[in-house]
A and B are shown apart, each in its own frame.
Chain A
């Protein structure tokens, strides 16, 4: 019996990806977990593991096609068996997958065109649900309402629900009239078009905005437009922490085990979040989801531009050496463009460290729906006033936390920083 190979979700907010290469061919024998393709997602190039075993009967899509999460990208079964799809085109259509959709919706890719008119092209209109059948955040709709919306190309985010708990019902969808310009609802447009015509000629080089760049652009616009940021900065004495790091690293021979300043900051941040769990939350409008696990996203700058968050899971509970080794591996994978899905999922709070670039202080942009992000400056030797009034040399670093004001207030941000400062200045707690 032929089994479908489905496009897995390779990141918490990933909905689709662009096929770079098939790594297997029709006729190849695969086992569950074998890597069958490389795709580029919003965040990185990711390897796609198969969830089924068997002989590959069919691979659907060619390099450059957009594959939606959950769509059937191939079939595996017994050698010689006929795939049930009756050919790739049919399957692609059945799954609402790539080629057709891409053509119908150039707006998404280049952000030039006007938003696609709703309801005019039912077959090609953007499914308001994500491809795996999940509704967008905060939207509730009954199965029949979802089906009708799908058929008519109605974006459920625009429909007001009148059912129990605000659920969108069949009647709500049937009675819905789309607004004239639902541009904001799409939430994907990058405001490039508003700057007028794109310059051309010998003086400029035109570069296509990469998926990653587009994604960053969208997210940051969304954050800056919607998230009311506030910022709190403090200076911490890092002498003890740097000494501790020196001692720790002197005691290990394996480079993989060596601890970076950033590892120590991540650990300290996680422990401080334990004391201020409200900052370890995600914001969903009328609900704030407080996470019990503390997973610290670490912003990694990529060569050639862009950045990606790898996630140190349970950073508060993971031993420092383990944490350091894991971070090292994830960061290396990120820089090679080979992150694993798990590397980039589940962040509850982010640390952005520009300490390597000789910066005093900077403010990072919150990565929604997270409630906060810590910006880490360079540790510097500076003149300090000692307790006895004399002037001496101290080792100082500036930390700035950016917080979503919808979740928290200035005082909590400041208290959190104080707690973080105390941990860094008494760093033995980081290794206990």
Chain B
């Protein structure tokens, strides 16, 4: 199949577009998705093409956006609801956690909630404390919800399409900084990346780097740089925080005996915490060094650029961490 070079936002747009064409039940709803053409331009042109029934602007009502998506999904539609940024998803937390994630279980399988909640995530340019969250591990805490976080345009497309076609609720986190980054994207309208499937983005024997989202970029850059010193890193992009694809991680760890977890999220009860815990549970006798975590610092993000950057992970921090476990 042919490929196109697309930025991630266009890959997401293509995924949504294809699914809306494929399935009448799929519709988008959210703040500024229609007339405004999408805050992040992912739904550009949709209102004109699909009309207001399937491209639904909402009031600024995160509780109702998420909650109505739950109801519509239960009733048989396949809503793709958008929360403008994940920072506002805290307002939708109850709908997502107490409702979307619980309803199938709580009523013993009588209802399904095939919804996707898209949200833009990650720290921006001095967006400050309330607008700089990367809180996906918080959402991934709860069984019943899937959490996706793609790192490349192709993954973004395949994962979003899989999420829309799945009968479970999915929180789909899109890293703002990655929206403009281009990459090859398959044209195939049935190109799907299965729910919960990780991807080895680079192979190596010395250290396993486990990462997701924006961390993939830093990790690959670090691996590139370390390779010049003869250190070969294996970079595993988890792609989904739930389900968590641990098997390849453990397999890789048994080979390298060392692991660095790279994430944009905060360190407390984070992806790093979970990976470290599972490695010591499942591969204790293969450890050559403690699992090292690279994450944001445990502070709210400030405004001033100088100190904002200090608090955040970057390629150099990944390189340093890899060297610390060697």
Contact = CB atoms under 8 A, between A and B. Distances in A.
Interface of A: 142-147, 163-164, 167, 169-170
Interface stretch (B81-89, B97-105, B286-294, B297-305): B286-294
B287 A142 contact: yes
Residue of A142, A144, A146 with most chain B CB atoms under a 10 A cut-off: A144
B285 A144 contact: yes
Interface string B252-292: 00000100000000000000000000000000111111000
Which 9 residue pairs of A and B lie closest in terms of their CB atoms, listed nearest first?
Answer: A143-B287, A142-B288, A147-B285, A169-B288, A144-B286, A170-B288, A144-B257, A143-B284, A144-B288
Nearest to A167: B289
B68 interface: no
B177 interface: no
A145 B325 CA distance: 14
B324 interface: yes
B325 A164 contact: yes
Contacts of B287: 142-144
Contacts of B284: 143
Contact of B289 (A146, A147, A163): A163
B324 to A, nearest CB: 6
Nearest to B323: A164
Contacts of B285: 143-144, 146-147
Nearest to B280: A143
B64 to A, nearest CB: 50
Contacts of A146: 285
10 contacts: A142-B287, A143-B285, A143-B288, A144-B286, A144-B288, A147-B286, A163-B326, A164-B326, A170-B257, A170-B288
B324 A143 contact: no
A142 B287 CA distance: 6
A144 to B, nearest CB: 5
A164 B286 CA distance: 16
Contacts of A167: 289
Contacts of A147: 285-286
Interface of B: 257, 284-289, 324-326
B286 A143 contact: yes
Nearest to A172: B288
Nearest to B288: A142
Given A163-B289, A169-B289, A170-B288, A142 B257 contact: yes
A167 B286 CA distance: 14
A271 to B, nearest CB: 43
A303 B239 CA distance: 72
B173 to A, nearest CB: 34
Nearest to B284: A143
Given A144-B286, A144-B288, A164 B257 contact: no
Contacts of A144: 257, 285-288
B139 to A, nearest CB: 32
B292 to A, nearest CB: 10
A19 B324 CA distance: 46
Nearest to A163: B289
A89 to B, nearest CB: 25
A128 to B, nearest CB: 16
A219 B282 CA distance: 40
Contacts of A170: 257, 288
Contacts of A164: 289, 324-326
A144 B325 CA distance: 14
Nearest to B253: A144
A169 B207 CA distance: 13
B257 to A, nearest CB: 5
A255 to B, nearest CB: 54
Of B284, B286, B288, B324, most A-chain CB atoms within 10 Å: B288
Contacts of B326: 163-164
A167 B325 CA distance: 11
B250 to A, nearest CB: 13
Contacts of A145: 288
A302 B286 CA distance: 47
Contacts of B325: 164
Given A143-B285, A169-B257, 18 more contacts: A142-B257, A142-B287, A142-B288, A143-B284, A143-B286, A143-B287, A144-B257, A144-B285, A144-B286, A144-B287, A147-B285, A147-B286, A163-B288, A163-B289, A164-B324, A167-B289, A169-B288, A170-B288
Contacts of B324: 164
